[in-house]
Amino acid sequence: MKVKVKLSYITLVVGSSVIGLAILSLNAGSLIELTFVIMSTFNGPIFGLFLIGYFCPRCNVKGVWTGFITSIYNQDENKGNYFRFKYIYV
């Protein structure tokens, strides 16, 4: 019974993500533009995770997640408009 409940939550999350990406792709100029925007949002924080793991092997999970989420939030000068397109802010 618990497996079915977990699978239904996973289905809900994946379905919502796909619908959200479909809506974002309607607003984007092209699919390549959308891909570059999403990749550039996460490349910097992932590189930061690599560096902190390399230089500070004794760091804990709470600090790593805090830094990851903070760096994603602080990437954009508009504070929250990660997916900027020509005329529409999502």
Q: Which residues contact 71 (CB under 8 A, 6 or more apart)?
A: 44, 45, 48
Output DSSP code: residue 41. H
Whole-model pTM: value is 0.53
Instruction: To the nearest 10°, report the CA torsion of 33, 31, 47, 13.
Output: 130
Q: In the predicted model, what is the mean pLDDT of the chain? A: 77
More confident residue, 49 or 6: 49
pLDDT of 72 strictly over 60: yes
Domain coordinates of the chain in residue numbers?
2-73
Average pLDDT over residues 32-60: 84
